[in-house]
Structure 1
Amino acid sequence: MSINCIRTLIEDSARTHADKTALVFNEKSLSYAELFAKVNQVALYLSELDLPKGSRIGIYSNKGIEQVIAILAILSTDYVLVPLTKLLKPEQVEYIINDCDIKCIITDKLKLENIEEIDFKGKIISYETTSSDIPSFDEIYKYYNKPYVCDINGHDNAVITYSFGLTGTPKGIVISHRNLIDSARVVTQYLDINEDDVISGLLIFNLDYGLNQIFCSLYRRATLALHRFILPDDFFNHIIDDKVTVLPLMPINITKIFDEDMGRAPSSELLENVKTITSSGGNVTKKMIQDCKRTFVNAKFYSMHGLTEAFRSTYLDPSQIEIRPDSIGKAIPDVELYVINEEGKECAPREVGELIHRGGYIYKGFWNAPKENAERFKSVNILKDVVNLEGQLTDELVVASGDYVYKDEEGYFYFVSRHDDMIKTRGFRVSPLEIESVVVKNFPLIEQCVVFSIKNEEIEEEIVLVYSAKSEIAPKELLFELKKHLASYMLPGKIIYKKSLPLVQSDKNKVNVEELKKELTNS
């Protein structure tokens, strides 16, 4: 058995911490021994499906203890896990099934209808007993009691994750067993997670940030307390009742948590157990940081930046979060980061260039996507003018992230834009994020804003600002303030007010820019 696989963590935790609580969800809990037994039962059943090695198995269900068991069971076989977030529509699920040839789907009663709608031809397993022709976890727990052993190779494919944006045709990124172990190791190190911690399982398990909460818990023999966010009151009850100490969030979660009157939040004394808050998957605002610090008075706030092609690149030390809240921090352990210009030279401080990720946590590549792999996974030779490649050892792969960033004089990185998001107007390249940041900083009444462009033959692209707030702000007032902070070519040509902004159905952290563009061009 490889030491670089999640299966080793499951076996070791059951041996050393058998009676320790591993999982909690509402009134139900499992010890590490109980978790191990159920994972083995499901893994044994999966292995007896006799699918070819490396076959993809999807999980399409709501969050719960059975979902975690299913994830760990697949990772205890030589199959590959494909998480399918419950937010996906049937046609999106069908796209992923066809793209990576999923042979089996594990689901629950609520999602069975969606699977039936797409006429899936593979095997289906349900958590609950539903019909005589669909096997269930209930039956597996009853009848599959033989010993189960496996031998996992750390370099084998473990997970393929898909993130639906606006195009509807994403590419899956392939993650190895070794990648999963490495990511758990580094996060538990810099967050100082230990076996006394209770990690909140608020995030969905469709991408690496969410899945990492499971693996960090196993790595340190901590407790994972699952939660489905519905209302802020429920969330705070989860923190208090489950005695949560580590709270991983996305910016959209922070917005929802503090969306209501802050007077309704529990007193800070009831939330003193929370020692660590992490945020990734978007930009945190000063208000988000202030809300968290006011509510979770003992918590250190870690802002983090990851890549699709690598688990994580940077984190901002909590001591810097109020000093430089806009920074994405410095490289995490075992990673080297460089900012290079179009000539391959290293950028000077505050000069914008592409972020190059070298070192640990690089994933295996995009599934069946040679073009995307060629764009992102490069020979280290692209850094030949930046680092010493003595001996011409150029087989090493680095990630050309497509993120435009700059580094300040003290070595802190700042995200500017994705390559594909840059606006070309009046002969200049403009970052939408830079304009959005100015709006957020100077107009606290604005709840959400997004900047994009539409075609304009006279100036290449016209900048559009769309925002939501409780009431409309006069466009002249907005422009007057923006002129104080932005060059004239960066000022929006159109400013549009909406009571709320449309969100991407499968990712509530993203504004649906394509829908806004259609509304604008069709009006």
Structure 2
Amino acid sequence: MSINCIRALIEKAAVACPDKVAVIDGSKKLTYADLFRKVNQIARYLSELALPSGSRIGIYSHKSSEQIIAMLALLSTEYIFVPISRLLKPEQVEHIINDCGMTCIITDKSKIKSIDEIKFSGKVVTYEASERDIVSFEEIYKCCSDAFTCNIGDYKNAAITYSFGLTGFPRGIVITHRNLIDSARVASNYLELKESDVISGTLPFILDYGLNQLFCSIYNHATLALHSLVLPSDFFNHLINDGVTVLPLMPPHITQMFESDPKRIPNAKLLANVRIVTSSGGKITPKMIADIEERYPSAKFYSMHGLTEAFRSTYLDPAQLKIRPNSIGKPIPGVEIHVINEQGLECQPREIGELIHRGGYIYKGYWKSKEDTQKRYKSIAILDKVVNLEGDLTDEIVVASGDFVYRDEEGYLYFVSRKDDMIKVSGFRISPYEIESVVHDKLPLIAQCAVFSIENEKTEEEIVMVYSAAREISKNEIVFELKKHLPNHMIPSIILHKEKLPQTSPSEAKIDKEVLKKMVMELR
């Protein structure tokens, strides 16, 4: 077995610190010895199913210690695990099952009805025993031996994670065992994680950022404390009661955390244990920075930028957060970032170009989608005007991210827009992100906003802004503020208020601009 796989980490932790608490799940605690024993039992049972090597097995359930065991058991076999958000609709789950050819699903009792609804014909395994003729973890623990060995190569496919694109149905990205261990190693390195850390398992285990919570915990022999972010009061109890020291979040979670009555937010002294807060997957606003600084006085705040096609590209050193709050930072260790213009040349400072990711942490590609893979995964030859390739093999793969960014004079990177999101008005190319940034910075009453375009015969495209806020704000008030900071051609002509903005998937916490665009078109 390769040392560069998660299985090797579990074995090592079970030997090095068997009595250390590995997982906190409410009142339930599992030591590394407990975890290893249960993982072996489930892995042994799954291997005895005698499915072909590389078979896709889904995990479709609520967050729990059993879900952790299921993931680690699958990563101990030659099967590929496919996390499925429990919040997805039946047709979306069915799409994932059919797209990857899933042969088995591990679930909890509450999801059996949903699986029946989509008429899944493969094998089903549940955590809890039920009246149905379905094998459960409870039965496996009673009957299966914990003697299990495996021989996994780090180059083998480990997981397929699905995220939403513009089509409305999620696309799968293939991740190897080496990818998972590398991402745990590099994040642990630049975050300076420790064995004494308690990492909050707040993010869902369906994408790499959420999965990395678990793998970083095992890599450092630390503790993972599970929690589902529902109410701010519950969330703060989790931080205090579980003694959380490392808190991974997404920007919408930071907003939700401080939406409740300020009197219900604990005194900063009670949150002093938190020494690291991380955020990825969206823009950090000045209010978020101020709230984190006020309530988490001991914490370093890391803003990070990742890609669908690679684990992570950049992070901003916490010391730079107030100096350049809008920056996505500099490359993480082991990564080389180039900003390329249309001529294939490296962009000058402040010149906007496409972010090209070279080096480590690049995933394998899109599952059964040659077109998507070829669009993003390119030969190193695209950098032939930038780097000296003499003697190099041009079969090295880099990621053409589709992200428009620029560097400042000190080399710090700034996100501008996704390539596909750019708006063209009267000959001007406009980034929705730039408008959204001004809204976040200058209109604090607005909780969230989405900027996009619809077709307009006179100006090519018409800029639309939809926002959520506690109350509707006068359009004139919004326009007046925006005109202080933006040229006239960047001012939205349509501004709409909604109590809540739709998300592509509740677990991904990304605003669904396609739904909003459809809504605007229906209003015209």
Query: TM (normalized to structure 2)?
Result: 0.98
8 Å CA contact 1:252–1:508 kept in 2: the answer is no
Q: Distance in 1 between matches of 2:469 and 2:238?
A: 30
Match of 1:386 in 2: 386
Deviates more, 1:389-398 or 1:221-230: 389-398
> For 1:214-233, what aligned pairs fall within 5 Å after superposition?
214-233=214-233
Partner Cα separation in structure 1 for residue 245 and residue 500 of structure 2: 33
CA distance in 2, matches of 1:426, 1:89: 40
Instruction: Give the deviation of 1:22 after TM superposition.
Output: 0.4
Shift of 1:490: 1.1
Q: Percent identity?
A: 63
Q: How many residues align?
A: 523
Written as runs of structure 1 = structure 2, the 5 A alignment for 1:442-457 is: 442-457=442-457
Deviations 1:235-273 (A, max 9, x none): 111111110000001111111111112221111111111
Q: Is the 8 A contact 2:204 2:507 kept in 1?
A: no
Q: Partner of 1:350 in structure 2?
A: 350
CA distance in 2, matches of 1:180, 1:265: 35
Is 2:338–2:357's contact at 8 Å kept on the other side of the alignment?
A: yes
C-alpha displacement of 1:472: 2.5
What is the CA distance between 1:428 and its match in structure 2?
A: 1.4
Q: 1:125 aligns to what?
A: 125
| Structure 1: gaps of 5 or more residues | none
**Matched residue, 1:255:** 255
Contact 1:164 1:506 (C-alpha < 8 Å) held by counterparts: no
Indicate the SS of the match to 1:511.
Answer: coil
SS of the residue aligned with 1:357? strand
Amino acid at match of 2:309: E
Separation of aligned partners in 2, 1:226 and 1:476:
45
Q: 1:392, 1:248 → 2: CA distance?
A: 38
What do the CA deviations read for 1:14-45 (whole angstroms, capped 9, x no partner)? Answer: 01111111000110001000100000000000
- CA offset at residue 499 of structure 1? 2.9
In the other structure, the counterpart of 2:314 is: 314
Inter-partner Cα distance in structure 1 for 2:390 and 2:105: 49
Consecutive unaligned residues in structure 2, runs of 5 or more: none
Aligned residue number for residue 399 of structure 1? 399
| Matching residue of 2:324 | 324
Aligned counterparts of 1:323 and 1:263: Cα–Cα separation in 2: 30
Q: 1:106, CA displacement in angstroms?
A: 0.2
Q: CA deviation at 1:165?
A: 4.2
Residue type of the partner of 1:308?
T
Distance 1:507 1:404 in 2: 25
AA partner of residue 447 (structure 2):
E
**Cα distance in 2 between the residues matched to 1:321 and 1:251:** 15
> Is 1:239 aligned to 2:232, yes or no?
no
1:198, 1:246 within 8 Å by CA — same for their partners in 2?
yes
Aligned AA for 2:249?
A: L
**Could you tell me how far 1:350 is from its partner in structure 2?**
0.7
CA separation in 2, counterparts of 1:131 and 1:153? 39
Give matches, 1:51-450, under 5 Å. 51-450=51-450
Q: CA shift at 1:151, angstroms?
A: 0.5
Please tell me the residue identity of whatever aligns with 1:481: E
- SS state at 1:509 partner: coil
* One-letter code aligned to 1:206: I
> How many Å separate the matches in 2 of 1:201 and 1:60?
17
Cα deviation for residue 477 of structure 1 reads 2.3
User: For the Cα contact (< 8 Å) 1:425–1:461, is it kept in 2?
Assistant: yes
Q: Counterpart amino acid of 1:396?
A: E
3-state SS of 1:504 partner: coil
Alignment RMSD: 1.1
TM-score, normalized by length of structure 1? Answer: 0.98
The 10-residue stretch of structure 1 (128-137 or 26-35) with the greater mean CA deviation from structure 2: 128-137
Residues 281-337 of structure 1 deviation map (CA, whole Å, 9 limit, x = unaligned): 111111111111111110000000000000000000000111111100000000000
Cα distance change on mapping 1:242 and 1:214 into 2, 3 Å? same
CA displacement 1:90-135 (0-9 Å, x = unmatched):
1111000100101100000111111110000100000000134110
- 1:471 is displaced (CA, Å) by 2.4
User: CA separation in 2, counterparts of 1:179 and 1:515?
Assistant: 33
Q: How far apart, CA to CA, are the structure 1 residues paired with 2:101 and 2:501?
A: 35
CA offsets, 1:443-472, max 9 Å, x none? 111111111111101111000111222222
Contact 1:305 1:313 in 2 (8 A): yes
Deviation at 1:393, TM superposition (A): 2.2
C-alpha distance in 2, partners of 1:388/1:473? 54
User: Structure 1: which amino acid aligns with 2:174?
Assistant: V
> What amino acid is the match of 1:98?
N
SS in 2 for 1:312: coil
The alpha-carbon deviation at position 474 of structure 1 amounts to: 2.1
